Amino acid sequence: MTNPSQPDVSIIIVSWNVAQLLQDCLQSVYDTTPNLSLEVIVVDSASSDDTVQVIQSKFPQVMLMAQTDNVGFTRGNNIGLAVAHGRHVFLLNPDTIILGDTIGQMVAYLDENPTVGIVGPHTLNTDMTHQSTRRRFPTIGTAFFESTWLEGIAPRHILDRYYVRDMADDVLGAVDWVQGSALMARHEVYDQIGGLDEGYVMFWEELDWCKRAKLAGWGVTYLGTSKMVHHGGKSTDQAGARKHIHFQESKLRYYKKFHGAGFALLLRIFLLLNYTWQIMVEGIKALLGSKRTMRRERITVYWQVLRSGLKVS
């Protein structure tokens, strides 16, 4: 039975040094949900800008959980999930703008479809073009082609399947996972499978969560008619080489969990060879006089990735 005092949805936003974007995001949330009972939780990862002051002065209704350290995206969401009381929980990036009745439509869809545990909306770029945020689970073949320097020569069917290119952008359909920039789940899903795996500092954590939800019997749906804007990467853009390291180590963690330690080791060697090759390519281009400053910056980043060793956790 529904508890009338329970919020329809708890919206969890993890922020780091994006005060203006966060303000715009929150304003869009409140402007588009006049008929919903909301619990909005902002977990701030020790921002050095005026995020805390902005929230306290302009959005006093928000539950602000200001951290003394940068806890990262995954841990930050778990902090919010642990105190969320809504019938549904909505993980939302701070660099987003909600359009129309998107949150209401997502809540209604979950209420009307009891076997579906997770939904994600149709996401748009800043220029209002389509942003791909729905996926099928990656295969072993996907590991070597998606987000590597071999992507340009990948067999078309591998990436077409992964990116769900057989589905129109504005339709509703079953998928395997949706990106964590805007992911709504039933609270029962969290109660059953727990929070995000904090072994992923950032990247791949929502894939892992959806994988566990699907293994527990829940469906995942892409709502192509519900729209929002995601400016994209405004916090991770600040991370430099760490962004590469977190992405690749998260990728290795996922494949170790679901495809075995042996394959993860093989993939680690492949990725390290990729970065070694790219350093050589950038070095040759720099010697030939092509955009030397940019080449040196890339070599520095790739060298830091190699030095990290890409640990498999």
Q: What is the pLDDT of residues 284-298, one digit of tens each?
A: 999 999 999 999 999
Together in a domain, 42 and 181: yes
Q: d(Cα 151, Cα 153) in Å, to the nearest integer?
A: 5
pLDDT exceeds cutoff 80 at 238: no
Together in a domain, 186 and 272: no
Which CATH number belongs to the domain containing residue 29 in this structure?
3.90.550.10
Cβ pair 250, 203 in contact under 8 A? yes
Average pLDDT along the chain: 94
Q: d(Cα 297, Cα 164) in Å, to the nearest integer?
A: 34
**How many domains in the chain?**
2
Together in a domain, 267 and 227: no
Listed residue (238, 125, 134, 231) closest to 178, CA to CA: 134
Together in a domain, 76 and 153: yes
Q: Does a structural domain hold residue 4?
A: no
Q: Does a structural domain hold residue 254?
A: no
Domain that holds residue 288: 260-308
Q: d(Cα 256, Cα 267) in Å, to the nearest integer?
A: 10
What is the mean predicted confidence (pLDDT) over 206-231? 97
Q: Does a structural domain hold residue 244?
A: no
Query: What pLDDT shows up at residue 22?
Result: 97
Kindly provide the residue ranges of all beta strands, DSSP E only, lying in the chain, ordered along the sequence: 9-15, 38-44, 63-66, 88-92, 96-98, 116-124, 130-131, 134-135, 172-175, 177-178, 182-186, 219-230
Together in a domain, 79 and 112: yes
Query: What pLDDT shows up at residue 70?
Result: 92
In the structure, what pLDDT confidence band is assigned to residue 239 with cuts at 50, 70 and 90?
low
Tokens of 107: 């809540």
In the structure, what pLDDT confidence band is assigned to residue 242 with cuts at 50, 70 and 90?
confident
**39, β-bridge pairs:** 10
Together in a domain, 230 and 275: no
Together in a domain, 145 and 228: yes
Query: Tokens 């203006």 belong to which residue?
Result: 20
**38, β-bridge pairs:** 9
Together in a domain, 219 and 266: no
Output the CA angle 85-193-109, nearest 5 degrees.
60
Together in a domain, 139 and 39: yes
Span 116-172, pLDDT tens digits: 999 999 999 999 999 999 999 999 999 999 988 888 899 999 999 999 999 999 999
Together in a domain, 163 and 274: no
Together in a domain, 173 and 29: yes
Specify the range with the lowest mean pLDDT, choosing from 1-5, 123-127, 194-198.
Answer: 1-5
Together in a domain, 198 and 299: no
